[in-house]
Amino acid sequence: MSTITDSAATSARMARSSLLGDIKAVWTRETLTILRDPFSLIFSLIQPLVFLGLFAPLLAGVADDGLGFGSTLQFFLPGVVVMITMFGTSMTGANLQFEIMTGAFERILATPLARQALLIGRALKELTPLVVQALIITLVAVPFGFDLYPAHIVLGLLILGVFGVGVGALSYALAIATRKNEWAFWAVQQSLLFPLLILSGMMLPLETGPDWMQALSKVNPLTYIVDAERVLFSGTFDDSAVVYGIVAALVTCAVGLWVGVRTVTKSIL
């Protein structure tokens, strides 16, 4: 049976744990909810397809530029990928709030896991199905005249991943801040999400919008992400929009993690 030496060995193993290992452990636990309940994944895959299938034809009609449906898809699909990323990662906190309420979060806080790993692991879990979703809608779009650039898409998804971790961390912090009243989480999440999405030019181009909208879109980090994704999905690496997108993703990620870790260490559950 267990002896003191056993415990000493245990401590030695613990000492070797790394941030990366911690992130993987948190991600694995979170991902188990998807693995154990695949229906939620299947359902979430259908949603962006419906959106793409119903919205893109309308947009093609409005923006009749003579280049055909393929061109509309080229504009619209990267936007949908960004949108599902925003939907998914901004909800990171909702799952967390449930675990704050039941007590599982406190138990996990009491383990030696690195605080950053708690945030990053959870955000990455929300990103995991998104990668699958993004790949599926991209492949589905190909027969309709969408041009596929795999290497560019990989970079595009990486930028989205970094950005998504930042958004997830902010959502996480919001969940902790609003842990006493659940509705407040949704109120803040929803009232931020849609203005950010619309003001990024994700759904409709902003060039035709009023000046104030264009000005606001300049300070919206999401704008730079959307622009970078459009450029990348159309097969260009060599564009300043890609650099701006990377910078916007890194800044969002850094701010998100800073706010998130601060909130975790300062709050009393």
Partner 1 sequence: MIHTQQLTRTFESGKETVEAVRGIDLDVAEGELVAFLGPNGAGKSTTLRMLTSLLPPTSGTATVAGIDVTADPAGVRSRIGYIGQKDGAGHNYRVWDELLMQGRFYGLDKQRATERADELLGTLDLEGMKMRKVSTLSGGQKRRLDIALGLIHEPALLFLDEPSTGMDPQNRANLWDHILRLREEFGTTIVLTTHYLEEADTMAERVVVIDHGRIIADDTAEALKAEQAGDRITVTVSADDLPTTREVVGQAGTEVEEVPADGCAAISFRVDAGPVALPRVLHALGDKGVAVNAATLKQPTLDDVFLNLTGRSLREGAEA
Determine if 104 is a binding residue for partner 1 (CB under 8 A). Answer: yes
**Token pair of 198, please?**
């619309």
Q: Which stretch binds partner 1 (CB under 8 A): 47-55, 100-108, 160-168, 216-224?
A: 100-108
DSSP string, 231-255: HHHTT--SSHHHHHHHHHHHHHHHH
Determine if 150 is a binding residue for partner 1 (CB under 8 A). Answer: no
Query: Which of 45, 49, 108, 184 forms a contact with partner 1 (CB under 8 A)?
Result: 108
3-state secondary structure of 257: helix
Identity at 148, one-letter amino acid code? L
Give 223's Cβ-side CA count (13 Å radius).
16
Determine if 102 is a binding residue for partner 1 (CB under 8 A). Answer: yes
Non-local CB neighbours of 205 within 8 Å, separated by 6+ positions? 63, 75
Question: Which residue in this structure is represented by tokens 């799952």?
Answer: 95
Identity at 93, one-letter amino acid code? G
Q: Which stretch binds partner 1 (CB under 8 A): 108-116, 138-146, 168-176, 196-204?
A: 108-116
Q: In whole angstroms, what is the distance from residue 71 CA to residue 12 CA?
A: 58
- Residues 34-73 touching partner 1, rule: CB under 8 A, are 36-37
Query: Which of 80, 83, 114, 153 forms a contact with partner 1 (CB under 8 A)?
Result: 114
Identity at 198, one-letter amino acid code? I
Query: Which of 19, 33, 147, 187 forms a contact with partner 1 (CB under 8 A)?
Result: 33
Binding mask 163-202 for partner 1 (x = CB under 8 A): ----------------------------------------
Positions in the binding site for partner 1 (CB under 8 A) = 1-2, 6-7, 10-11, 13-17, 25, 28-29, 32-33, 36-37, 98-99, 102-104, 106-114, 265, 268
